[in-house]
Amino acid sequence: MEEQIIRTEYSDLMQKSYIDYAMSVIISRALPDVRDGLKPVQRRTLYDMYELGIRYDRPYRKCARIVGDTMGKYHPHGDSSIYEALVVMSQEFKKGLPLVDGHGNFGSIEGDGAAAMRYTEARLQRVTQEAFLADLDKNVVDFVPNFDENEKEPVVLPSRVPNLLVNGSEGIAVGMATSIPPHNLGEVIDAAKAYLKNPDITTEKLMRLMPGPDFPTGGIVVNKDELPAIYETGTGKIKIRGRVEVEKLKGGKEQLVITEIPYTMIGANIGKFLNDVAALVESRKAPEITDISNQSSKEGIRIVLELKKGTDTEALKNLLYKKTRLEDTFGVNMLAVADGRPETLGLKQILEHYIDFQYELATRKYRTMLSKEQEKREIQEGLIKACDCIDLIIEILRGSRSVKEAKACLTEGITEGIHFKSEASRKRAAKLRFTVRQAEAILEMRLYRLIGLEIQALIEENKKTLQNIAEYEDILENHESMTRVIIRDMDAIRRAFSRPRRTTVENAEAIVLEEKKIEEAPVMFLMDRFGYAKTIDVAVYERNKEAADSENRYVFSCMNTGKICVFTDAGKMHTIKVLDLPFGKFRDKGVPIDNFSNFNSSTEQLVGIGSMEDLKNRKLLFGTKSGMLKVVDGSEFETNNRTVAATKLSEEDVLLIAEVTDGSEQVVLQSQEGYFLRFPVSEVPEKKKGAVGVRGMRLGEGDFLEAVHLYHAGTEKSVEYRGRTLVLNRLKAGSRDTKGVKARS
């Protein structure tokens, strides 16, 4: 066949392909259907378990079998997505109404993952079987071919539960996402019944029956007045707090016990919460807390904070709500697939779709049941009629040469070829007009049905069938009757599966945190040669002055409310709050200074450090590897930023010194070739921090500065140079921007 080249615009092709992909993700993977509240992977997994016969009253089956069967028949998207959906549907801390009964390790509220699918087992929950899958044999929903057209799968499960609201849903599609909180089953059914009786009911009235979300983890919703607007539009933010109780201990002490957590804290966020509390203690924002322990178990959440005697527990609770995820926000976006397209729905719209779906299910169910009852009636009436003329029927059967002849006689009165005992019998047989279905039932009838009691039971059964037909016709023909049936089914589900509300919904005042004003006081900053920093009391320093000065690289006083400035060879200045540094005993090790700032000792070298309070009234001498010098006013380094550029460096240049000067010192420049130049600091001009500076020393080709030394005139300063001690004071004085003198090796 001749090859054809189809020319098309690349952008058009990309646009079409991307739209196809996006719609596939939106409709077939990420978003739930408003009717049964399930995503495709959840629906397929539950249906496969139903098909495999893994019912609630039967033994558990390996999850690997369920996942493999689901993937092979209905969901060809990988086993991990199927198993994850199976696990989530079994977790009571995520779902208000778990749909799968898991056996084995299915993860924990603290974020532990489930065991591998080869170890775990599962089966359907009773509610899933009775309220989601019970009527699949009654033609209540449409079935479509699976991906390879070898199986059939339901388009939607015939859910009697308003599952989209009860279990909620979370999913990220392309360009859109859904986030629906879980609700209380009993309350949602009450709201659905109220809407069913009065479609014009307002959202505010519905919310008297369903006050708001009911999270499996409990907690407290604190913005009750904002909820009607959220449920009207389908979008908004729900504020949730954990439940904190105060327990009294012996000796007048108290402890805070967190018994319920915000729904958003499930998983790794519990560990983050504990770390955040520990950080508050370390930063002395919550010094009242003496110990933190997570005593949670299968019985529930129990996080204990032990407190000092006399602690203001209310103020501490407010601090925890404000500074940790003990108060969090749940973003609501009630997006679901409705009528084949994604749509953001309010509460009334969701209930409307649910009720419409219930009417559709009831109509299809009772039509199917009516059809079956009418078939039963036809057969029953035929058998009863046959019992009245059983002798004639036996005569027809005995006189017939084939089943076809007998059947033709029973249905159409054709007597040719049939031997009768008398002409009267032939005339009577010619008048028979059983239906085809009745004739088949008569031909298949066993002789024991001719017993008197069996005939009476058949008559009673026919009466029951007639009653059922009348009932089903009434349901299908009268809207009120169908409504009563739907309400009856809702009430049955409510009685069997509802549970008390766990989440409290109320209005609470916004947390106003009055941070304790820290009493300003001087402290001593100490940092050893390994970069471990701490602050100590001035009096402690005075008692250990000699040891502190000899053991530490940097020692200076600062205010506890101030900041520390760290200058690095990259020309940057990093700031650290003094309050962030550990305050303790003289022999405490301290903490690496990297932990408190953006300074990274693996990529930068520290060249100077000082208190911002002290620097702003002083001047700093800057010197670089290329020999550039300048003096900068310390006030230029006042900033609220954690990192700023301290000076301008040319390419491949590095900063060697950033040290406080009063202008009276001597500066000595030391080059790699062994040249030393001594001159007064007063010869170095003052520049802005953004300037490169002036040349301090004339360097030979390939030479560069190794060090910059600063000392006060009248004091002796010596350095180690190539194995011998060199006294800087004895160097010949020179002028800035000269070559200097070469030291003897």
* b (16+ CB within 10 A) / e for 704-730: bbebbbbbeeeeeeeeebeeeebebee
**In degrees rounded to 5, what are phi and psi of residue 650?**
-75, 170
Roughly what angle, to the nearest 10 degrees, separates helices 390-399 and 347-388? 80
286 and 280 in contact (C-beta within 8 Å)? yes
Q: From CA 677, how far away is CA 735, in angstroms rounded?
A: 8
> In this structure, are strands 504-505 and 220-221 parallel, antiparallel, or unpaired?
parallel
Tokens encoding 460: 């009673």
Residue with tokens 């992909």: 21
Report residue 662 CA to chain centroid gap.
58
Residues 6 or more apart whose CB falls under 8 angstroms from that of 288 comprise 307, 308, 311, 312, 316
Q: From CA 149, how far away is CA 10, in angstroms rounded?
A: 33
Report the run of H or E that residue 143 belongs to, with start and end: strand 143-145
Q: How many CA within 13 A on the CB side of residue 622? A: 32
Tokens encoding 538: 């001035």
Residues 6 or more apart whose CB falls under 8 angstroms from that of 398 comprise 419
Alpha helices, DSSP H, located in 521-598: 538-543, 545-551
Q: From CA 167, how far away is CA 216, in angstroms rounded?
A: 10
Residue with tokens 């009772």: 366
Say which of 10, 47, 119, 721 is annotated catalytic: 119
Q: From CA 666, how far away is CA 735, in angstroms rounded?
A: 11
Alpha helices, DSSP H, located in 591-713: 612-615
Strand, coil or helix: 742 = strand
- The residue among 257, 224, 215, 262 whose CA lies nearest residue 242 is 262
263 catalytic per annotation: no
Q: From CA 307, how far away is CA 288, in angstroms rounded?
A: 5
30 and 22 in contact (C-beta within 8 Å)? no
Q: From CA 680, how far away is CA 657, in angstroms rounded?
A: 16
Enumerate the active-site residues.
119
